[in-house]
Amino acid sequence: MALLTGVLRGLMDLVFPPECRVCGDEMAPGGDPISLCDTCEAGLRTIPKERCPKCGKVNLKRAAAGAARTQCRECQSGTRRFDVAVSAFLYGGTFRKLWHRVKFSNRPDWIPSIVESALEKIGPEEEFNPYLFDLYTWVPTSERRRQERGFDPAEEISRHLSEKYKRPHMALLRRIRDTRPQFELSRKDRIKNVEGAFAAAIPRDQRVRAVLLVDDILTTGATASACAAALKDRGAQKVVLFALARGG
Ligand SMILES: [Zn+2]
Ligand SMILES: [Zn+2]
């Protein structure tokens, strides 16, 4: 069956050569799994090892100096409520263009291959053993945006992880008040904007000692932290964040 599928895919590629998902250039059959041409693939940057071990923030100056992994100032201040954040790509360049296409050209069908690629880049990571979580949930997008798009990208990432690792995935978080778009705000205002904006509802019989919280992009981490706080208020002891990409 796998052989037949492979043969069929080969034939399909000959009739309809795959196109790069970012620049639209025609590609050689059987290329990169997320369908990026060589040029775009080269613009996909992964998170270097020189990063904050808790939130993954990259300090390029320290990275250049080959500094040891020490927590960033914000993590040291203890305001982040998630335990660890794991992500694969640096937000920018190719990843940013690719993710825009997923969200604005309505391509949730691309998400599984992007998640697979992210998992490959992350590799074995001490804090991210997908089998050790009681369940997976995600940072919910606003209802208005969800309706505009027809899907919630973070939910689709969580769904793929749940199918792959056979762990339950369910909506636990909801927004309990409106928030302003985070990108409009300063770092300090972002924390205030989302503080207490989420509530977690956990079924009584559901074990939630360790929760994998899924999001697409981690920027300041304020939203993820507010979600982790809501989960911990309802009994979660450990919340690990999984995001495809990490911004500044
Ligand atoms: Zn390309
Ligand atoms: Zn940090």
Q: Average pLDDT of 47-65?
A: 80
CA of 85 to the centre of ligand 2 (A): 9
Q: Average pLDDT of 62-70?
A: 65
Q: Give me the CATH code for the 17-46+79-246 domain, please.
A: 3.40.50
pLDDT of 6: 63
Closest-lying ligand to the alpha carbon of 98?
Answer: 1
Task: State the chain's mean pLDDT as an integer.
Answer: 88
Residues whose CB is under 5 A from ligand 2 (ion)? 52, 54-55, 57, 72, 75
Report d(CA 141, CA 155) in Å as an integer.
9
pLDDT of 95: 97
Helical H runs in 141-186? 143-149, 153-165
pLDDT of 237: 95
pLDDT of 63: 61
* Residue recorded with tokens 């949730």: 108
Assign 188 a pLDDT band (cuts: 50, 70, 90): confident
CA of 224 to the centre of ligand 2 (A): 13
pLDDT of 81: 94
Domain segments of the chain as ranges: 17-46+79-246
pLDDT of 180: 82
Report d(CA 171, CA 138) in Å as an integer.
7
pLDDT of 69: 65
pLDDT of 28: 77
Task: Give the Å distances, CA to CA, from 155 to 47, 110, 128, 213.
Answer: 23, 14, 19, 10
Choose the most confident range, by mean pLDDT, from 32-41, 43-52, 54-63, 209-218.
Answer: 209-218
pLDDT of 169: 96
Task: Give the Å distances, CA to CA, from 248 to 58, 148, 207.
Answer: 8, 27, 34
C-alpha 66 chain-centroid distance: 26
Assign 127 a pLDDT band (cuts: 50, 70, 90): confident
CA of 92 to the centre of ligand 1 (A): 15
pLDDT of 186: 83
Choose the most confident range, by mean pLDDT, from 67-76, 150-159, 185-194.
Answer: 150-159
Give the number of other Cβ atoms within 10 Å of residue 190's Cβ: 22
pLDDT of 67 strictly over 70: no
Residues whose CB is under 5 A from ligand 1 (ion)? 20, 22-23, 37, 40
